[in-house]
C-alpha cells in the first residue's frame, strides 16, 4: 500500500517518555481515524511550526497504533530530532503516512525470528503485535547499558524478548546475530532491522538458508519517492527505500553499497 502526500493529517503529541541514551517514545493522537497500518510502514512527521528551517519532515517507523493514535521511537541524532523531542504535550504535528510497502507478512507453518539492533527495534515491535503467534524468538541487540531503558520498554511490549549487548552490560554478551546463531538451522524466516553491520552479520550467518526480510534505515527527504535521496542498489536496479521499501528481501540488496 503506497500513500501520497494527500494522506497528511494533523496530530497532537499526547505522550512523551524519555527512555535514556537520547531515545524517546512519542505517541500522537489524530482527529480523524487512521487507515490500516501494516508492520514495516512509517510516517514522515514534524511540528506544525516547521515552515522553512527546519523544512523537511523526518521519517519514523510505526511502533504501535490504534484507530486514532500512533506511537514512534525517536533517537536524537541531529537538530530536527532534537526539536521534535523537545516539544511539549499538546503540540500540533504534521503526520504524513502511512508510507512504504509494509511486507512483513508471516507465512503460517514456518519458524520466524525477529532480530533488531538499536532504534531498529521499532518496526519489529509493530510486527510482533500482529504476528506474535508465529514468532519463535525476538532478539534485541544494543551496544551498552545506555540502552537499558529502551530494553525495559521493549520488554514490556514483548513477552520473552532476548536482549544482547556488545559489552555484556545488558542480557547476553555479544551481538543479536550471535544469539540467533544458537538456534542453528531451525529458522525458516528472519525479519531484521538495525545498523548495516548487523544486517551484514545476519546475512552472513543465515543467507541462503533462511529468507531474510529487512527494513532498511535511510535518510529521506520526501518519503514518497520524489527526491531520490534514499536509493539503494539491488538486483532489480536502483530502488527507493521510501517507495519500494523500506522492507526488502536482503538477498536482493547489495549490502556493500549500503551506508
Q: Quick one: 211 and 123 in the same domain?
A: yes
Q: pLDDT value at position 106?
A: 64
Q: pLDDT value at position 91?
A: 97
Would you say the C-alpha torsion 201, 124, 190, 139 has a positive or negative sign?
A: positive
Q: Quick one: 123 and 209 in the same domain?
A: yes
Of 245, 30, 36, 11, which Cα lies nearest the Cα of 130? 36
Taking 50 as the pLDDT cut, the residues of the chain under it are 1-6
User: Could you tell me if residue 61 is inside a domain?
Assistant: yes
Q: Quick one: 17 and 72 in the same domain?
A: yes
Return binding residues for [2Fe-2S] cluster: 222, 227, 230, 242
CB under 8 Å to 74, separation ≥6 — which residues? 23, 24, 25, 26, 60, 81, 84, 85
Q: pLDDT value at position 228?
A: 77
User: Could you tell me if residue 145 is inside a domain?
Assistant: yes
Domain count, the chain: 2
User: Could you tell me if residue 16 is inside a domain?
Assistant: yes
Q: Quick one: 132 and 198 in the same domain?
A: yes
User: Could you tell me if residue 163 is inside a domain?
Assistant: yes
Domain boundaries, position 211 = 112-215
Q: pLDDT value at position 204?
A: 93
Q: pLDDT value at position 4?
A: 38
Return binding residues: 80-81, 222, 227, 230, 242
CATH code of 116's domain: 3.40.50.80
Return binding residues for FAD: 80-81
User: Could you tell me if residue 248 is inside a domain?
Assistant: no
Amino acid at each position: 500500500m503506497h500513500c501520497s502526500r494527500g494522506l497528511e493529517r494533523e496530530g497532537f503529541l499526547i505522550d512523551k517518555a524519555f527512555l535514556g541514551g537520547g531515545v524517546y517514545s512519542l505517541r500522537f493522537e489524530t482527529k480523524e481515524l487512521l487507515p490500516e497500518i501494516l508492520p514495516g510502514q512509517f510516517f514522515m512527521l514534524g511540528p506544525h511550526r516547521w515552515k522553512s528551517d527546519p523544512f523537511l519532515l523526518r521519517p519514523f517507523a510505526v511502533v504501535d497504533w490504534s484507530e486514532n493514535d500512533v506511537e514512534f521511537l525517536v533517537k536524537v541524532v541531529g537538530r530536527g530530532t532534537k526539536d521534535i523531542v523537545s516539544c511539549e504535550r499538546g503540540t500540533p504535528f504534521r503526520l504524513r503516512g502511512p508510507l512504504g510497502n509494509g511486507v512483513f507478512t508471516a507465512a503460517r507453518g514456518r519458524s520466524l525470528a525477529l532480530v533488531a539492533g538499536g532504534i531498529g527495534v521499532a518496526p519489529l515491535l509493530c510486527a510482533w503485535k500482529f504476528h506474535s503467534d508465529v514468532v519463535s524468538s525476538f532478539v534485541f541487540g544494543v551496544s551498552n547499558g545506555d540502552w537499558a531503558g529502551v530494553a525495559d520498554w521493549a520488554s514490556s511490549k514483548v513477552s520473552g524478548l532476548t536482549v544482547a549487548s556488545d559489552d555484556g552490560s545488558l542480557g547476553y554478551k555479544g551481538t543479536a546475530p550471535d544469539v540467533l546463531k544458537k538456534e542453528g538451522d531451525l529458522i525458516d524466516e528472519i525479519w531484521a532491522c538495525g545498523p548495516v553491520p548487523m544486517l551484514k552479520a545476519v546475512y552472513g550467518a543465515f543467507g541462503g538458508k533462511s529468507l531474510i526480510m529487512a527494513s532498511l534505515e535511510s535518510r529521506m527527504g520526501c518519503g514518497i519517492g520524489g527526491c531520490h535521496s534514499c536509493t539503494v542498489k539491488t538486483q532489480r536496479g536502483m530502488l527507493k527505500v521510501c517507495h519500494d521499501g523500506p522492507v526488502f528481501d536482503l538477498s536482493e540488496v547489495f549490502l556493500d553499497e549500503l551506508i
